[in-house]
Structure 1
Amino acid sequence: MTARNLQVAVKRLPHAEGLALPAYATPDSAGLDLQAAISEPVTLQPGERRLVPTGLAIAVPPGFEAQIRPRSGLALKHGVTVLNAPGTVDADYRGEVGVVLINHGDKPFTIHRGERIAQMIVAAYARVAWNEMAELPQTQRGAGGFGSTGSHALPDAAATPLKTAQGE
């Protein structure tokens, strides 16, 4: 199975001149790397958040969204992540794509021009039409949530036969 190609219009804003367009780091990467389009280094103090410009405006096709997600290396090594992850760029938005970064680390973190600060995934979505009902269909889980399925892996369904109502 292969990923399908989707054409997305992009406009490079003046403060992004000289920076590469978002790109996949490897052939099987899901996310396109976004760069900081800043003129001077920006330092995020521990606990500080800031909107970092990318210098790009995009036209996501109808039926799709662009999701802005953290880069795992920044999160693990420095505690820097996307605050509203995943952020959504809607198909009708035409302004600059910005990344809300926060420093959850214990040391200041400096962002430099062209540094890869987040990744973007373009994905299809479904629009919902509500079907209001007095009762919802029943499931095995029911209303259980917030840890109701436990904290350890469930037994392998293929290795553990389910018991029927007759106890078979």
Structure 2
Amino acid sequence: MTRIPVTLAWTDEADRTLPLPSYETPQAAGADLRANFAPGLRESGMTVYPGARGLVPTGLRLAIPEGYEVQIRPRSGLALKHGITLPNAPGTIDADYRGPLGVILMNMGEQPFVISHGDRIAQMILAPVLQAGFVLAETLDDTARGAGGFGSTGTG
């Protein structure tokens, strides 16, 4: 498997004893990200109440190679067991962004959810980026679907 280097740097307030993003199995597509709270929140963590969302720090900044993005995606176990998801999934981190990496978590469950320091909160996936060349036209070619919108190809 080809490995594309993504350079990481700790933020000033990061707990540098926590593991870096890691692939938990040899063929995993996503590397797990961990909550990395500033010293004042390390003991208490963060509670996300039902219907609410919060920005969870990872303690990291990234240098993503040109021509790539990092996608941030929910962890399926948190989604199934607790209703924890990302409202902007997948979130995109652009190659030219150098600020702190935070993950927006939302609680779609029925109970408050506590995120503890060091918890695995999301996955990050490195993906190639293609940019479109936009061309304005007076008309578009016809297709079998045409202008049919939501639900136009069947039920649901």
Q: TM-score, normalised by structure 1?
A: 0.85
Distance 2:20 2:128 in 1: 21
The amino acid of 1:51's aligned partner reads L
Match of 1:158 in 2: none
Q: TM-score, normalised by structure 2?
A: 0.91
Match of 2:72 in 1: 68
**In the alignment, does 2:112 pair up with 1:102?**
no
* Conserved 8 A contact 1:16-1:54: no
Aligned residue for 1:24, secondary structure, equals coil
How far off its partner does 1:151 sit?
A: 3.5
How far off its partner does 1:75 sit?
A: 0.7
* Conserved 8 A contact 2:22-2:32: yes
Aligned residue for 2:14, secondary structure, equals helix
The amino acid of 1:8's aligned partner reads V
Greater shift, 13-22 or 48-57, is seen at 13-22
Match of 1:10 in 2: 8
Distance 1:61 1:50 in 2: 28
Q: What residue ranges of structure 2 are gaps of 5+ in the alignment?
A: none
Aligned residue for 2:71, secondary structure, equals strand
**In the alignment, does 2:124 pair up with 1:125?**
no
* Conserved 8 A contact 2:30-2:124: yes
Aligned residue for 1:23, secondary structure, equals coil
* Conserved 8 A contact 2:70-2:94: yes
